Amino acid sequence: MRTRFCIDAAREAGRRTLSLFNNNALRIETKRDGTPVTEADRDCELALRRMIEASFPDDAILGEEMPEKPGITGYRWIIDPIDGTKSFVHGVPLYGTLLAAQLEEESIAGAIVMPALDEYVYAGRGQGAWHGLGEHRPEPARVSEVGSLNESCVCTTSLALMQRKGMGGLFDAIADRCGLFRGWGDCYAHLLVATGRAEAAIEPEISLWDVAPMPVIMREAGGEYTDWNGVCDTNSPHGVSSNGRVSAELLSMLKPALQG
pLDDT digits (tens, 9 = 90+) for 27-70: 999 988 888 999 999 999 999 999 999 999 999 999 999 999 99
- pTM of the predicted model, to two decimals? 0.96
Q: What is the pLDDT of residue 162?
A: 74
Q: What is the pLDDT of residue 170?
A: 87
Are 11 and 116 contained in the same domain?
yes
pLDDT digits (tens, 9 = 90+) for 95-154: 999 999 999 999 999 999 999 999 999 999 999 999 999 999 999 999 999 999 999 999
Are 103 and 220 contained in the same domain?
no
Q: What is the pLDDT of residue 260?
A: 62
For residues 220-234, average pLDDT: 98
Indicate whether 165 pLDDT > 90: no
Q: Could you write out the DSSP letters of every residue in the chain?
A: -HHHHHHHHHHHHHHGGGGGTT-TT--EEE-TTS-EEEHHHHHHHHHHHHHHHHH-TTSEEEESSS--B--SSSEEEEEEEEETHHHHHTT-S--EEEEEEEETTEEEEEEEEETTTTEEEEEETTTEEEEEETTSPPEE-------SGGG-EEEES-HHHHHHTT-HHHHHHHHHHSSEEE---HHHHHHHHHTTS-SEEEESS--HHHHTTHHHHHHHTT-EEE-TTS---TTSS-EEEE-SSSHHHHHHHHHHHHT-
pLDDT digits (tens, 9 = 90+) for 181-223: 998 889 999 999 999 999 999 999 999 999 999 999 999 999 9
Distances in Å between the Cα of 54 and the Cα atoms of 10, 82, 176 are 15, 22, 50
SS3 of 170-235: the string is HHHHHHHHCCEEECCCHHHHHHHHHCCCCCEEEECCCCHHHHCCHHHHHHHCCCEEECCCCCCCCC
pLDDT digits (tens, 9 = 90+) for 77-96: 999 999 999 999 999 999 99
Mean pLDDT of the chain: 95
CATH of the domain at 18: 3.30.540.10
Q: What is the pLDDT of residue 158?
A: 76
Q: How many domains does the structure of the chain reveal? A: 2
CA distance 102 to 75: 6
Q: What is the pLDDT of residue 238?
A: 95
Indicate whether 22 pLDDT > 70: yes
- Residue 206 belongs to domain spanning: 149-258
Are 96 and 192 contained in the same domain?
no
Out of 140, 165, 199, pick the residue that ends a domain. Answer: 140
CA distance 118 to 73: 33
CATH of the domain at 225: 3.40.190.80
Q: What is the pLDDT of residue 257?
A: 85
Q: What is the pLDDT of residue 174?
A: 92
Indicate whether 160 pLDDT > 80: no
Q: What is the pLDDT of residue 55?
A: 99
Range with the poorest average pLDDT among 21-25, 83-87, 210-214, 237-241: 21-25
